Amino acid sequence: MREIDVAIIGAGPSGLFAAYYAGFRGLSVALIDNLPEPGGQVTAMYPEKQIYDIGGFPSIKGRELVANLVEQAAPFHPSYLLGTRADALTYADDHPVLTLSSGEQVRCGAVIITGGMGSFKPRPLPAAEAFTGTGIVFFVPHLADLAGRDVLIVGGGDSAFDWALALEPLAKSVTLVHRRDRFRAHAATVARVQDLSVRIVVNAEIAKIHGEEAITHADIAVKGAETETIPVDTVVAALGFTADLGPLAEWGLDLDKRHVKVDSTMATNLPRVFAAGDITEYPGKVRLIATGFGEAATAVNNAAVAIDPDAHLFPGHSSDNG
């Protein structure tokens, strides 16, 4: 069984800042996330999008924000337990014990839930169900991986158009297919993509994906027209995500729909379990990354006292350690 001071469930911005702050307080940390890399929704849904409401940054790309948060926490050596889910919560000697989907158990001084919108998974692409090879992705962690490739993007929302905007300068070709002739994406983003070399095909769906070990072509079925086959190396299925609390919903937490109720200390109704970020609910709650940072610091400081009642709630300013 792994022993840790603070287990943080969710490695998005709030979780990463909580990892830094817990390290700053001298606490050992494990970050647990079902996704294969840190960053949460930011990495999965808008890594190349500019974010304008982070204090001290007039604008910063989602990917850069995540990289900075990982770097900020790095001196304190947090453990990253990625690609695994926190399935069950029990207690041993008044300490929380998490059982992960990998089978590993983590005994904690405290738990901080920073799961954003909960566990989320991409909506499936129907045409991909019969295809067993590689080349179908739901987000693009590294744009350079698709340089010089024929890319097919499926979807009509913000993510689809953001990927088109980001990939157009790098890819050999970019084709965007949407089943309607109207888009959910922001009109200004749609206009920018329309001014590029991106081919936009509306009232259309992917009928079939060809290839054995990897994608080579795809059939596009356009309403009222003949099916067209185009060369494709990578399909980006930007069809959105479905979200739910997953196993967290069975832990006995006081919930408001998909959100965890907390008090002013970020404590939940369960002993030694705190929460921060978008997943929390309290009167006047505002769901911003900037808000999550403050909540993460509050949760860590109160968790530190729960772990050691002799500890000070306020640890001093970080500038005092310079």
pLDDT, tens digit (0-9, with 9 covering 90-100), for 33-66 = 988 889 988 887 777 778 888 999 999 989 899 9
Assess if residue 212 is contained within a domain.
yes
207 and 192 together in one domain: yes
Residue 304 has pLDDT above 90, yes or no: yes
Assess if residue 320 is contained within a domain.
no
Domain tally, the chain: 2
Where a domain ends, among 239, 269, 286? 239
- pLDDT (average), residues 218-228: 93
Q: What is the mean pLDDT of the chain?
A: 92
Confidence of residue 138 (pLDDT cuts 50, 70, 90): confident
Return the pLDDT at 118: 62
Residue 83 has pLDDT above 90, yes or no: no
Q: Is 244 annotated as a binding residue?
A: no
Return the pLDDT at 119: 65
255 and 108 together in one domain: yes
Q: Which domain holds residue 140?
A: 124-239
131 and 198 together in one domain: yes
187 and 212 together in one domain: yes
- pLDDT (average), residues 145-168: 94
Assess if residue 93 is contained within a domain.
yes
Return the pLDDT at 37: 86
Highest averaged pLDDT of the listed ranges 40-44, 133-137, 262-266, 316-320: 262-266
List the CATH number of the domain containing 18: 3.50.50.60
Strands 150-154 and 105-113, by their bridges, are unpaired
Where a domain ends, among 224, 239, 254? 239
Assess if residue 317 is contained within a domain.
no
221 and 257 together in one domain: no
20 and 158 together in one domain: no
Give the phi and the psi of residue 223 in degrees, each rounded to 5: -60, 125
Q: Is 41 annotated as a binding residue?
A: yes
260 and 294 together in one domain: yes
The answer to whether residues 5 and 27 touch, using CB atoms and an 8 Å cutoff, is yes
256 and 234 together in one domain: no
Residue 116 has pLDDT above 90, yes or no: no
90 and 232 together in one domain: no
Assess if residue 318 is contained within a domain.
no
- pLDDT > 70: what percent of the chain? 98
Return the pLDDT at 50: 82
Residue 71 has pLDDT above 70, yes or no: yes
Of 11-15, 82-86, 301-305, where does mean pLDDT reach its minimum? 82-86
Where a domain ends, among 213, 239, 265? 239
> How far is 287 from 289, CA to CA, in rounded Å?
7
- pLDDT (average), residues 203-227: 93
Assess if residue 315 is contained within a domain.
no
106 and 37 together in one domain: yes
Return the pLDDT at 158: 87
Q: Is 278 annotated as a binding residue?
A: yes
Assess if residue 260 is contained within a domain.
yes
Confidence of residue 168 (pLDDT cuts 50, 70, 90): very high
137 and 232 together in one domain: yes
161 and 263 together in one domain: no
Q: Is 33 annotated as a binding residue?
A: yes
Residue 250 has pLDDT above 70, yes or no: yes
The answer to whether residues 81 and 104 touch, using CB atoms and an 8 Å cutoff, is yes
Q: Is 120 annotated as a binding residue?
A: yes
Q: Is 319 annotated as a binding residue?
A: yes
Assess if residue 210 is contained within a domain.
yes
> How far is 284 from 290, CA to CA, in rounded Å?
15
Q: pLDDT (tens digit, 9 = 90+) per residue, 177-197?
A: 999 999 998 899 999 999 999
